[in-house]
Chains A and B, each alone.
Chain A
Amino acid sequence: MDVKRDRIQTEGQEGVESELLTLNMGPQHPATHGVLRVEIKTDSEVVVQAIPHIGYLHRCFEKHAENLDYRGIIPFVDRMDYLAAMNMELGYVTACEKMMGQEVPIRAEYIRVIVCELGRIASHLLAFGTYAIDLGAFTPFLYAFDMREKILRFFEEISGARLLYNYIWIGGVWNDLTDAQLGLIETFCDEMWEEIDKYNNLVSYNKIFINRTANVGVLSEEAAYQYGATGPILRGSGVEWDLRKKRPYSIYDRFDFSIPVGSGEQGSKGDCWDRHIVRMREMYESIKIVRQCLKGIEAGPVMSKVSKIIRLPQGEIYHKTESPRGEIGYHIVSTGDKKPHRIKVKSPCFTHVSLLPHLAPGLLVADFVAVIGSIDIVLGEVDR
């Protein structure tokens, strides 16, 4: 009884005139995850056209970066994607290190991977929790935030901040982890694994959830390429592409993990359910990586010697890493000065917002909310 998605017919009926209704979703709207405004034109309940308007959170990070030295940029990088700040830092820092030819102690690399994978879990938990809220289920949100809080507490313990860490530095990490803290992560991993099973039973394989998300907002592989989608969106469309595997950075080549892809289990390939389940399965993979890290971590220093004033050699670099939302790329142009000439950030969410006009036509307004949620937008990163 899939009645709800039948187009409501008004055309062709005599005496009935229909016209499009313009509706502004946002900038203050609970389903837009921040300050995104989508101007939608609707024919009764059906979306005909969607035009995203962004820039409400625009701080012009790139202009700030022109006036800062390379170390001073790291806190600004945090503030772009404030839900996965560790991953943003790693991308920027590895780009600088690659350009400088800077060595990093092996213990620092392990710590980086641990915090980044925990950051990925925290970010995916938030995506999962808010997605359930978007679809009208409140309880999963509380479960998700309960576990996310544990990760944030841990980050607070090691770096002093809950969201914006400034923890990964050029040449290593700021602070070492103690054995007690490593033990804490181990117990957290066991707990988290069972929690994800619970979430899957509660939400992912729930009949109502599947009805709301399967076959909605289908993104084909070809369209994903055309719009430059990356991360869980691309993998949800069935493309096995993960930078941690295909272009290993840091020490990701040491770990054994798999890339979950969408296969159209509950509906068709590339629908909202696929994008959701890719995130859920990635959390398992992250736990696997963290466990391998805990086994392999070696004693040693966590910071190598870096000169007081960092100068990148003249040239340019485009370095990309896998953040929870997709590929985060840093294009750094240096003229050999102690300040960068220009830093451009390739933000995955910015490209994903451009998917909305492609996915929207023909959806119900409530399904459009499901599509926005499944794309997992962070507006701090879209507007930079």
Chain B
Amino acid sequence: MHEEWAALLSDRVPDCEAKVVFGKAGDKSIFVASPSLHRVCTLLFSHEDFDFHVLQLITGHDYLASEETKDTPAQRARIEVSYLLTSFRKNHDLILKVELPRENPTLDSVCDLWASANFQERECFDMVGVRFENHPDLRRILCPDDWEGYPLRRDYEVQKSWHGMEVEPEHKMNLPEREFEKRQKEMAAKHGV
């Protein structure tokens, strides 16, 4: 089904470069080029074969560049944004994905198509730092408005203080737990578990 959808998308939006991606298990997803996102979404929303009238979720995934290891393949630095679309009338789902650079990621907002995108895009901006153009009210949603940094970036480090308050005071940290983690790591390195 995903292959047919990708073919239809490439046919209607020529510059979208739709391709189906599938890992070793789980769900298939369709990648499109980020500049064509809004046009692709309009088609998905209105075309009767797709009929994706509900947007359930927008997520950002941050990837740092890394070498290949025994268990994991090599990665390049990027941010992926996933759109989870559903049709209650046709009973099917789609994971639509776009890839963005880690520096200054921007995307077109889809608030004009689905009202639920408003909160979801605000959360994606708050947590991963993707800016959405033409969003009516792009503010942080879960963190305070003047918080620094984006918590769900892989290289995020929490700020030292906020409005004169220490953010992670040493005496309040759970030290036994940290010690336990450290010991666990040492044991793992020693015995190769």
Interface residues in chain A, defined as those with a beta carbon under 8 Å from any beta carbon in chain B: 54-55, 58, 60, 62-63, 98-101, 223, 225-228, 230, 239, 241, 246-247, 309, 311-318, 327, 329, 331-338, 341-342, 344, 346, 350-351, 353-354, 358, 383-384
Contacts and interface: CB of A to CB of B under 8 A. Distances in A.
B36 interface: no
Contacts of A227: 115-116
A105 B107 CA distance: 45
B174 interface: no
A353 B119 contact: yes
B187 interface: no
B119 A351 contact: yes
B27 A226 contact: no
A62 B27 CA distance: 20
B121 to A, nearest CB: 11
Interface string B87-131: 010010101000000000000000000111011000100010000
B141 interface: yes
Contacts of A335: 71-73, 75
A329 B84 contact: yes
A312 to B, nearest CB: 7
A318 B27 contact: yes
A316 B119 contact: no
5 interchain residue pairs of minimum CB distance: A315-B23, A228-B116, A317-B26, A315-B26, A313-B24
B152 A225 contact: no
Contacts, number: 119
10 contacts: A63-B156, A223-B115, A225-B54, A313-B26, A332-B26, A334-B26, A335-B71, A342-B59, A351-B56, A358-B115
Interface residues of B, number: 41
Contacts of A225: 53-54, 88
B61 A337 contact: no
A246 B27 contact: no
B1 to A, nearest CB: 15
Interface string B45-85: 00000000111110101110000000111010000001010
A63 to B, nearest CB: 6
Contact of B22 (A99, A101, A246, A315): A315
A384 B193 CA distance: 32
